[in-house]
Amino acid sequence: MKFNYLKRCILPAVILIFITQCDISREVQKKPNILFIITDDQSPNSLKAYGNQICHTPNIDRLAEEGMTFTSTYIMGSWMSAVCVPSRTQIMTGRSLWRTVGLPQTKSPDYNSPEEANALTPPDAPEYYSMPAVFNRAGYLTFRTCKSSTSYDNADKLFTYNYEKWCVYAEDDKGSKWHGDRAIEFLEMRNSQMPDQPFLMYLGFSHPHDPRHGKEELYEKYGASDEPPEIPNPKAPPLPVNYLPEHPFRHGNDDGRDETRVQGVMANRDEATVRNELGRQYACIENVDIQIGRVLKKLDEIGELENTYIFFTGDNGIAVGSHGLMGKQNLYEHSWRVPLIVRAPGIKAASRVIGNTYLMDVLPTLCDIAEIDIPNTCDGISFYNILKGEAETNRSALYGAFNISMVDPKTGAAHPSNPGIRAVRKGDWKL
């Protein structure tokens, strides 16, 4: 009688408790996902979170409203006019500007697959400690979509899912929607085939990099066209507060591509041209925001939104008329500084911090979030403590450098005798 009672009542209860405890344990041990969103040539000045009241970005605004905005995040600089290359290399490796010189010029073997690349990359190779390699070894699914051939290729090919395309046009298959589609396809695949596996997504958009071809309906909204009008369109965004018709002195890249050969701009700095180019930029940024909204919706649909750390940033800023410049080959705030917004579980909504962070701090931060050992090759400092509300900054000062002749183009070796442009910022002071 007692045995039957145990069998019918006590034993099922014990089994139920055991199953419940297993489920709770599994939930506690569930690794956070990471969605790292990066745009191309986007100054913080283009976003509502940084004071812009014209460019319409409701989804990026949502990230700021539900997360943390960093007001002082910078690239460390560049040794070449294609600022995105060293910037993205620093993101991938966590290394400083000076320790990424030459890395993008190195070439690993042509592997047959990402799996083979990860298996055969030797521990003494710099890319062995790059973002995708570190997260692959930690059991994460790694995904990347981005523009092609403008980053650290040895690291990029280690992403398990990697989709590259130059998407700076208006058409869906040649613009930002292409990148958004790849991200959504990955999330759907992961949800149906590997729903319990954590993921790291590097969602890179080619826009708003020039030639900034936007959709016609967004051009209309921002008073823009592919060729500037003779007189300013009343719908076009206003000139920057620091607009100049020309730069007052030689800054080291006066004849560079961004300053003289951008389609629809060339060397012109008149009001109509600059305002039109801002309109084109805003049209491209809004389309990027639309794609971000689609990805957020998909994360919500598959039940992963609240278990995902979402980062939004840019690879560098851009002038577009500020100080009489159009490009990013300088150390003014509009080009040196980048947006950084983070939405994640536990982060105080609508919070703002100074940060004093570099993009090279991203990799150690992601490692801390995922409880992965930070590679000892990293120069960056994790700002996970800032995300948790334990600190306002991790540095008292920031340093920057730029010069396109800072390295030997053949060997990648640094030229210490050529100081190029330098900057140091501490609080409200900058030299």
Q: What is the mean pLDDT of the chain?
A: 92
What are the tens digits of pLDDT across the range 32-65?
Answer: 999 999 999 999 999 999 999 999 999 999 999 9
Residue 100 has pLDDT above 80, yes or no: yes
Choice among 85-94, 256-265, 295-304, 402-411 with the minimum mean pLDDT: 402-411
Residue 423 has pLDDT above 70, yes or no: yes
Q: Residue range 193-215: average pLDDT?
A: 98
Q: Residue range 253-268: average pLDDT?
A: 92
The pLDDT of residue 412: 57
122, burial (CB in 10 Å: exposed 0-12, middle 13-18, buried 19+) = exposed
Q: What confidence tier does 416 reach under pLDDT thresholds 50, 70, 90?
A: low
332 close to 322: Cβ distance less than 8 angstroms: yes
148: CB partners within 8 A, 6+ apart: 164, 165, 166
Domain 33-395 architecture: 3-Layer(aba) Sandwich (3.40)
Q: Residue range 266-271: average pLDDT?
A: 96
Q: Residue range 211-239: average pLDDT?
A: 97
The pLDDT of residue 367: 99
394 close to 380: Cβ distance less than 8 angstroms: no
341, burial (CB in 10 Å: exposed 0-12, middle 13-18, buried 19+) = buried
Number of other residues whose CB lies within 10 A of the CB of residue 65: 15
Q: What percent of the chain has pLDDT over 70?
A: 90
Q: Residue range 85-90: average pLDDT?
A: 96
Any idea where the domains of the chain sit in the sequence?
33-395
The pLDDT of residue 251: 82
430 strand-pairing partners: 425
92 or 9, which is more confident?
Answer: 92
> Nearest CA to 279 among 324, 212, 325?
212
Residue 15 has pLDDT above 50, yes or no: no
CA–CA separation, 101 and 66 (whole Å): 37
Residue 88 has pLDDT above 60, yes or no: yes
What are the tens digits of pLDDT across the range 156-201?
Answer: 999 999 999 999 999 999 999 999 999 999 999 999 999 999 999 9
Q: What confidence tier does 300 reach under pLDDT thresholds 50, 70, 90?
A: very high
Q: Residue range 91-100: average pLDDT?
A: 95
b/e per residue 343-360 (b: at least 16 CB within 10 A) = bbeebeeebebbbbbbbb
Q: Residue range 318-347: average pLDDT?
A: 97
